[in-house]
Amino acid sequence: MSAKSFKKASLIRVGVVGYGGAFNMGRQHLLEMQKAGMTPFAVAEVDASRLDVAKIDFPGIETYASVGEMLKKSNVELIVIITPHHTHAPIALQCLKAGRHVVCEKPLAITTAEVNAMIAAAKKSGVMLSTYHNRHWDGRIIDAVRRIKKEQCIGAITRIQCHMHHYGMPGEWWRSSRSISGGILYDWGVHLLEYSLQLIDSPITEVSGFSHEGFWAPQTHWKKDTNEDEASAIVRFKSGQWLHLSVSSIDAKGSDPWVEISGTRGNYSFGGEHYQLITSDGTTTRTEKGRHSADEGFQFYQNVARHLVKGEKLIITGEWSRRPIHILDLAGRSAKQGKSLATQYP
């Protein structure tokens, strides 16, 4: 099965692994793929009641109680993995080795080694591996890329600072478990890194990680396995630019804006709905504020469909998805070892 094996998008039979969850993400993914022209075909889910829901949502869809059963009995060709983070790599490897195209919900995996194995398996089977980085097309980063990289509105980028802060005890769901989720940086952190890596093109040279833990853990369901109270990653690039990512559940100040990009002629920042541009010529400082453009997350599956039908360049490749995972992985290890760690490329 190759990237040009389909004559039209409707011939791409798509399925999901996971149809539960509070956000009904299985249904969401199948609908988005359907809008991109592909055909919803199969669902694998351990909860039989959710399979009944899938049959109502998509009459005639195949349903399976396990990934292994789906791979053995179904002709589904593109599988989207919508399961807890620590299961992404083993399920993806199972599907890739069976010759199926794979899209993983973000983050692609927890460790660099897992991602390397997934990329190698996809290449060996001649299939596609991607990550559902739909926020690659958020209006806030589309605007930032255009104004900062194309229009040079703040000159040359010197540093980027990202933060997602709040104050509150982690909930009882699996995203609060470090062994399942990867840690506090892996949820919003992977989005903020993916934004930032659209703005800084230089190779990463080293990562320093810092963390605080033990405040919430005794009070939570997960106890010692609870995510860190807060964690940070400082990323050094070959160009001399640097990036600071911080995610906290013990910061009462909050996190608006989410991302601040500093340059030689100004500062551009954005949060949930608005941006701010501050520029200076040395004597006069100007401030501009406004709302972001509309999000265009639908482009993710449109690009996937065109890649599989027309051979269009895949935007979110396994290699692209590896960069934020490598940062997160190194940050966690650096925090434990108390020293900066150099990046490693295959």
Q: Return all residues near 132 (Cβ < 8 A) that are at least 6 apart.
A: 29, 80, 103, 104, 105, 106, 300, 316
> Backbone phi, then psi, for 44, in 5-degree steps?
-115, 130
Quickly tell me which residue has 């482009």 as its tokens: 299
**Looking at residue 24, what is its pLDDT?**
87
User: Under CATH, which number does the domain 136-296 receive?
Assistant: 3.30.360.10
What mean pLDDT value characterizes the chain?
Answer: 96
pLDDT per residue over 164-192, tens digit each? 999 999 999 999 999 999 999 999 999 99
Confidence of residue 346 (pLDDT cuts 50, 70, 90): low
In 3D space, the residue among 15, 88, 11 whose CA is nearest the CA of residue 54 turns out to be 15
**Looking at residue 21, what is its pLDDT?**
66
Confidence of residue 291 (pLDDT cuts 50, 70, 90): very high
pLDDT per residue over 33-79, tens digit each? 999 999 999 999 999 999 999 999 999 999 999 999 999 999 999 99
**Looking at residue 183, what is its pLDDT?**
98
Averaged pLDDT for residues 92-117: 98
**Looking at residue 255, what is its pLDDT?**
77
**Looking at residue 2, what is its pLDDT?**
43
Residue 19 CA to its chain's centroid (Å):
19
- Listed in order, the ranges of the chain carrying CATH 3.30.360.10 are 136-296
> Is residue 304 over pLDDT 50?
yes
SS (H, E, C) the chain: CCCCCCCCHHHCEEEEECCCCCCCHHHHHHHHHHHCCCEEEEEECCCHHHHHHHHHHCCCCEEECCHHHHHHHCCCCEEEECCCHHHHHHHHHHHHHCCCEEEECCCCCCCHHHHHHHHHHHHHHCCCEEECCHHHHCHHHHHHHHHHHHCCCCCCEEEEEEEEECECCCCCCHHHEHHHHCCHHHCHHHHHHHHHCCCCCCCEEEEEEEEECCCCHHHCCCHHHECCCEEEEEEEECCCCEEEEEEECECCCCCCCCEEEEECCEEEEECCCEEEEEEECCCCEEEEEEECCCCCCCHHHHHHHHHHHHCCCCCCCHHHHHHHHHHHHHHHHHHHHCCCEECCCC
Asked if residues 230 and 211 have their Cβ atoms less than 8 Å apart, the reply is yes
Q: Hey, how many other C-beta atoms are within 10 angstroms of the C-beta on 164?
A: 21
- Listed in order, the ranges of the chain carrying CATH 3.40.50.720 are 9-132+299-312
What is the rounded distance in angstroms from the CA atom of residue 116 to the CA atom of residue 229?
29
- C-alpha neighbours within 13 Å on the C-beta side of residue 42: 25
Q: Which tokens hold the place of 176? A: 């609060």
78 pairs with which residues across the strands? 14, 101
Domain 9-132+299-312 CATH class label:
alpha beta
For 336, counting Cβ atoms within 10 Å of its Cβ (0-12 exposed, 13-18 middle, 19+ buried), the class is exposed
**Looking at residue 345, what is its pLDDT?**
77
For the whole model, what pTM was predicted?
0.95
